[in-house]
Every structure is written in C-alpha cells, then in structure tokens.
Amino acid sequence: MSKKVSLTAHTNIFCIIGHPVEHSMSPTMWNPALQELGLDYAYVAFDVHPDNLEKAILGMRALGIKGMNVTIPHKENVIQYLDEIDPIAKKMGAINTIKNDDGVLKARNTDAGGAKKSLIDAGCEISGKNILFLGSGGVARSVAYILSQQANKIVLTDIVEKSALTVAQEIKQNMGVDIEGKLSKKSILKEEIQKTDILINATPIGMHPKMNASPISKELLHEDLFVFDVIYNPLQTKLMKDAAKIGCKTLGGLDMLVNQGVLAFEWWTGKSPNTTLMRSKIIDFLGIK
C-alpha cells in the first residue's frame, strides 16, 4: 500500500529537463513509485531552453537537486557542464541521467542500459549473438553501443545508407567491435537476416497511428529470431505479431522505457521501484492498447 508523503521543508527534488518537456511521461511514472516506497521526493519537469542549459546545471548545484533526467535536445550538450561521465556514455557522447553526489555531478546513459536490461529480463542472450538493427537513428546508436560490448557482430541498416555507414564507422572506432552499416533494402535484409539472432526495430515504422505498417516483410523472418521492437505504442506492433506467428520470441519497447527510469531510480535512491505500477501509469497516460 502506498505511504502518504506530504511535501515539507525536507522534501527533495528529482527532475527532468528538456525542450519541450510537457509530454514527458517521467513525472507520471516516478511520483507514484516514490510515494509507494514512502520516499520524501517530488519529481517535476522543467522546460529548459538550450540557451539556459548551463544555468540549469548551475541551478542543480545551487539548489542541491539530487537527481536530474535529461531529454531532447540536451543529452549531448549537457556533458560539458558535468563532473564525471560513465565510460560508455562518454564514448556515446550522450547522457540522460545525472546524480548529485554531495556536489559532484555524475552522469550515465540509462536509455541504452534500459534496453539491455529489458532484453536480459526477457531471457534474450546477448553474448556472442549477431544483431541486426532496422534504423540507425538516436535509439539504434545508443543501443548498438551498449550491446556491442557483448555481441558477436552488429549490422545497422537504414533507408539512408550514409546514416548507417556513419554510425557504424563511429561505433567501430570508439568500441573496437565488429559492426557494419548497410542500406535497408529487401535483398540486403534477406541475406543479413539469415545470419541474425536478434532483430531490433529502431525505426518509427509500426508506431501509432500507422499500426498496420512493419519495417520488414514477414516472409523474411525466421523462427530462431528474437525480435525486439523499441516502439511502445502500440504494445504489440505488426512486426511483433508477424514474428510471434512463426514462433519467434518478441519484446516491445515499453519495458525499455520503464527500465531507463528503473535504473535511474535505483541509482538515485538505492531502492527498487514497483515496475508494475510504473508500467501501468505509462499505459494509462498514453492510453496504449
């Protein structure tokens, strides 16, 4: 049962900054989870214009704000104002979580960590596996960085070949791993998918309201694939349904979204939140089916 917490002079603040930020789901999933554990924190959202980013971080230091999530467009630029960056987040050049450790601002990227935790929780073995990404945008890039530490080989594909080549080249240089970028077209996907263990959709194809679309033809799928679709609305995308029909294990994007919050929650409070509660708050907020 949730414990009653009233805001007092002792209440500490966690927050998210972004621009815009009013659509953020973080306060919705964080506050009930904090209250349930009787933790004396409130989680709020601040719209911070890029011109004010440094001042916002000075504000975090001055006000003693204990934890800050960072969303678009600040994930890269904020790094210059912080004290300690987790090694992999430093290589990615992007963070989303800052902890104020007695005045020392430490940062991590729990977006990528949340994706990895979701795969592990779903029973997906990453070590030694071949991973094929559809899309090479922001999400593909950060997830590819973290999974490249354990995968055998990663292939990034994109409808813009140059994007896939550029991101793959950057990760290869920074991580020293086996990764290639390719054009996302049927003949290439057909060849690549035969060698693939884990297929990750990191494109918006299949997202609400265009839920009948899939980024890959179902005849290319095979039953040995683990299919991870980072889309969380709808909960079951067409790709996931196509894959489940032929016997693939599937995972949607909601757990990744919740887990980026869970990892921050555990880091900031030292306690584990009720993930079922966090999931249900997001589902209610978005009206996802």
Shortest Cβ 101–ligand NAP spacing (Å): 26
Q: Could you confirm whether 75 is annotated as catalytic? A: yes
Neighbours of 272 (CB within 10 A): 11
Compare residues 13 and 159 and give the one whose CB is closer to ligand NAP. Answer: 159
The CA-atom distances, in angstroms, between 92 and each of 66, 110, 174, 207 are 24, 12, 8, 26
Beta strands 97-101; 84-85: pairing state: unpaired
The residue (of 73 and 137) whose beta carbon lies closer to ligand NAP is 137
Output 107 or 216, the one with its CB closest to ligand NAP: 216
60 or 156: CB nearest ligand NAP = 156
Helix, strand or coil, per DSSP, at residue 117: helix
Q: Which residues contact 170 (CB under 8 A, 6 or more apart)?
A: none
| HSE toward the beta carbon, residue 261, CA cutoff 13 A | 28
The least distance separating ligand NAP from the CB of residue 136, rounded to whole angstroms, comes to 5
Tell me the three state secondary structure of residue 251.
Answer: strand
Q: Which residues contact 6 (CB under 8 A, 6 or more apart)?
A: none
Closest-CA residue to 202 (of 132, 151, 154):
132
Which of 163, 173, 124 shows the shortest CA–CA distance to 147? 124
Q: How far is the CB of 273 from ligand NAP (least distance, A)?
A: 16
Least Å distance between CB 224 and ligand NAP? 22
**Looking at beta carbons only, is 159 or 246 nearer to ligand NAP?**
159
Kindly state the smallest distance separating residue 157's Cβ from ligand NAP, in Å.
6
C-alpha–C-alpha distance, residues 4 and 203, integer Å:
41
Find tokens 């049927």 and name the residue: 186
The single residue of 3, 4, 55, 75 carrying the catalytic annotation is 75
Amino acid, single-letter form, for residue 176: G
Q: What residues line the site for ligand NAP (CB under 6 A)? A: 134-140, 157-160, 163, 184, 202-205, 207, 215, 230-232, 253, 256-257
Q: Which residues are catalytic?
A: 75
